[in-house]
A = this chain, B = another copy of it.
Amino acid sequence: MVDIVHRVGIKAPLDMVYRALATREGVAGWWTTSTQGDSKVGGMLKVRFTSDGKELGGFDIKVLELEPGKRVLWQVVEGPEEWVGTKVGFDLKQEDGFSIVLFKHQGWKDPAEFMYHCSTKWAIFLMSLKSFVETGEGAPSPGDVRISNWH
């Protein structure tokens, strides 16, 4: 089992960062504009991605934990085989005037090339989260930063 981990610091109060992670509207602001569903514990979020008008697929995600100002935890239930069953967690804390996000995508069976791609892409989306919360403008799909032939 291998994990993808990241850390970013956001110049904004914890509750603003939490809302960007814990609500459908928030997630649509930094990950993908095509975010549907209900962000409550036990609820499901459906995120879909497109590139140049082409459907790239996406994930159905179950919301496992929502702890205001502290923690959001998801589990992937549908999507690419490598993602199904994995958990995506965001732990929040305050430090030096920043809201710190400790990110962990855990449960990868195999450190295949797709995991390398997802690791970099998560960093890009966390920078989009930072920008969304700090300035009101993120870079969610389909306007996300392209990193390779896999987009």
Q: Is A148 an interface residue (CB 8 A)?
A: yes
Q: A119-B123, A124-B123 in contact; A147/B9 too (CB < 8 A)? A: yes
Q: Which of B3, B9, B98, B130 contacts A2 (CB 8 A)?
A: B3
**Band of interface residues on A:** 20 to 34
Q: How many copies make up the complex? A: 2
Residues on B with beta carbons closer than 8 Å to the beta carbon of A96: 149
Q: Is A8 an interface residue (CB 8 A)?
A: yes
Q: Is the interface of A mostly helix, strand, loop or mixed?
A: mixed
Q: Is A6 an interface residue (CB 8 A)?
A: yes
Interface centre among A7, A9, A96, A100, by most chain B C-beta atoms within 10 angstroms, is: A7
Contact A149 B8 (CB under 8 A): no
Q: Which of B3, B98, B120, B123 contacts A149 (CB 8 A)?
A: B98
Give complex CA distance A5, B108 in Å.
Answer: 13
Give complex CA distance A148, B111 in Å.
Answer: 27
Residues on B with beta carbons closer than 8 Å to the beta carbon of A147: 7-9, 127, 130
